[in-house]
Amino acid sequence: MTGSHFFLGHLETPIGHLSWVVDEEGRLRAAGFTDGHPRMERALRAYSVEPNVALASPSRTRGVTAAFERYFSGDLTALDSLPLFAPGSPFQQAVWSALREIPSGETRSYGELARRILNPKAVRAVGLANGANPIAIVVPCHRVIGADGSLTGYGGGLERKRWLLAHEGLSLFPAQIAM
């Protein structure tokens, strides 16, 4: 990453403080809730302390800011065309790509994602790749649920996951809401 420049953006959302990092080419590299989300806080800190890397002005993130604002205002397709760069293994890339194919207002189980990437026995590995997703909301890991329909872990917290799914129009069953 020698000589690279990264740009930090922030937005107060209805469910907390969202931050993201964009590279010089305008690609989103990381996004997540920073209040109470240690993994995202570590990811942002890694960009800011990397030698020869400048974490510069948020003015370069206006397009991403506008897309997140539109998403939180109800335009559920606002994030679909954002360019991304998320380094990961080929397996992680396959899982993250499959996540982006889940439409707003729909969910998939870990098993369904494993079958989607043609590796039906890799359910646990899919869960790990889902949890390692560095670009929350845009790579919609919040749309993954347990095989029994239960809301399972989300790095930003289950309350945020519940809110995001409801925001996208998903009707949650009483058992899911109580979790």
Q: What are phi and psi of 174, to 5 degrees?
A: -50, -40
Is 30 tagged catalytic?
no
Count Cβ atoms below 10 Å from residue 110 Cβ, excluding itself.
22
Which segments within 80-178 are labelled E, that is strand?
108-109, 144-145
Among 11, 15, 102, 141, which one carries the catalytic annotation?
A: 141
Q: Which of 80, 69, 128, 78 is nearest to 102 (CA)?
A: 80
Rounded distance between C-alpha atoms, residue 163 and residue 160, angstroms: 5
Report the catalytic residues: 141
